[in-house]
Every structure is written in C-alpha cells, then in structure tokens.
Amino acid sequence: MQKTSENACFGGIQGVYTHPSDACGCDMTFGLFLPQEAQDGPVPLLWYLSGLTCTHENAMTKAGAQAWAAEQGLALVFPDTSPRGDGVADDEDYDLGQGAGFYVDATQDPWAPNYRMWSYITEELPALLGATFALDMDRQSITGHSMGGHGALTMAMNLPGRFRSVSAFSPICNPTGADWGRKQLTAYLGADETAWERHDASLMMRKAGFDGPMLIDIGSNDQFIDLLRPETLAAAIADRRQPASFRLQKGYDHSYFFVSTFMEDHVAFHADALWA
C-alpha cells in the first residue's frame, strides 16, 4: 500500500492511499479520516459509499463529514466507486463502467474480470483497513449517496451483524423496477433477474430487513427521484414494520449541498449506534 497524501484535519489525519486489489485486478484508491482518538487506540469505522461518476475524493472534499466524525471520535473511509485503469473495461455512458461499479460482483463480459466491487468493499478493503490502521472492526456502520446509498442499504441487509447502523442519502431504492437500474443489472449480472434481487434495497427490505437503526434522507426536489423510486422502499419498510426514519426533505435536490446539510445528523445517528 502506498500513501498518496496525509493532511491534518480537525485534529486528526485525512489520508489517501493506493493499493493493488486482488478483487478488482487493478490499483484501487481510498480516503481514510482518522480522528485524534485513533492515536490512543482503535476507533469505530463509518463507511461512506459514493455515487455515480464519483471517486474517493468527492465526499472527502464536499460532504463536510470529517468535522462531525472528529466530534464523535469516528473514522471515515471513502472508497472509490469502481475499478479504474487503461486495462479496465469502460463505456461511453456515465452510468456504466468506470465510476459506475454499482457495488456488485459482475458475472458478465467485459465487466467480470475487474468489476467486483461487492467483494472489494465487503472483504478485501475491510481486511486491509483492519490490519493497517487503528480501527475497531467490530464497530462498523455504513452510509452512502445515490448509487452508494443503494450499496450501503443492500450490503447492510445482506450481511447481518456486520454493520450496527445504516443510512443513505438519496439512495437508488428499486433498480429492478426502473429501466435505468435494469440496464446496469443486466450488463453486470446478466438476464436472470433472480441474481438481481440481493442488489435491490426494496426487495431486500421485504425479504430480510435490517436488525438495527436505519435513516434515509431524500430531497423533495431531487431531479432523479423518479429513477430512485423511494416510494417502493418506504412501502416495504411500512409493510415489514421495520424501525426506520425515512425523511423527505423539502426543497433539496440530489447534490452535495443536500448531503452536506444533513451529514451532521447522519454521523450523530451512527455514533449513537457505534458507541452504544
């Protein structure tokens, strides 16, 4: 693993690191914020999964999360959204290929050799983080925005016991029910729709739910709200009687202005679970 940069940040350290990934078959980069408390021993870890077209850098520089994480004594990890490099398959559309990994393990060509973001986020990167940094890997929570909200919700519900809490900003809630989501699921996973189910938060809510606190924020003026299909997840939460806070925030859109506005709420929400 190579250190790209480390900067003092709210009493802690914001680092950027690159390492060879067996899961993705290329070099991967991630950001990691360690609060001052990490100098004295392992601290809980909050994952932030970013959305389409983003890298590790977008949330790291725009979300304002480090200030609130420092206040709560939490570490924050910002992974990339896909494999990258000259030898990695790509597509001219923004919603497929590099920058659009959708947090799945692709089974179809040309994506299968590198697009294994599920394994990278749930297996390879946690092992690297736990072995390298002062992190309490028994205390993990997860959040994300848009495509990353989709990833956070589906990982939390597919991996019971891994995360103490889950939240999402403007998540893609029902990709199997929209042409937009069906495009990527078909490309990465093939035409068998049974393989898609575990990557649909609304379907996973009906099937498994989440044994822990859940918080979801969506802006009422989100320009992608018809594609996100939040009503499907809200209905599944109600039908399952899942404990959750599902908030439609009046006037907000899909941008990082929205994310940064409610980041304090989300970090405090996770801190309550991580320090319990």
With a pLDDT cut of 90, the percent of the chain lying above it is 99
Asked whether the predicted pLDDT for residue 180 surpasses 90, the reply is: no
Residue 53 pLDDT class (50, 70, 90 cuts): very high
Asked whether the predicted pLDDT for residue 105 surpasses 90, the reply is: yes
CA dist list (Å): 20 to 23, 29, 49, 80, 158: 9, 9, 20, 13, 26
52 touches 94 (CB < 8 A): yes
254 is an active site residue: yes
When divided into structural domains, the chain yields a total of: 1
Asked whether the predicted pLDDT for residue 80 surpasses 90, the reply is: yes
Burial of 195 (0-12, 13-18, 19+ CB in 10 A): middle
CATH number at residue 192: 3.40.50.1820
Asked whether the predicted pLDDT for residue 179 surpasses 90, the reply is: no
Q: What is the pLDDT of residues 228-262, one digit of tens each?
A: 999 999 999 999 999 999 999 999 999 999 999 99
Counting every residue written for the chain, the total comes to 276
Exactly one of 50, 146, 165, 167 is catalytic; name it. 146
Domain that holds residue 163: 2-274
Exactly one of 56, 145, 150, 254 is catalytic; name it. 254
First to last CA, the chain: 33
Q: What is the pLDDT of residues 191-225, one digit of tens each?
A: 999 999 999 999 999 999 999 999 999 999 999 99
Quote the CA–CA distance of 101 and 86 in Å, as a whole number: 16
222 is an active site residue: yes
CA dist list (Å): 60 to 70, 105, 188, 261: 14, 25, 27, 15
Segment 270-274 shows an average pLDDT of: 98
Handedness of CA 222, 224, 226, 228 (dihedral sign): negative
Poorest-confidence range of 78-82, 140-144, 179-183? 179-183
Q: What is the pLDDT of residues 7-32, one digit of tens each?
A: 999 999 999 999 999 999 999 999 99
Exactly one of 50, 222, 266, 270 is catalytic; name it. 222
Instruction: With H, G, I as helix, E, B as strand and everything else as coil, classify residue 251.
Output: coil
249 has which bridge partners? 219
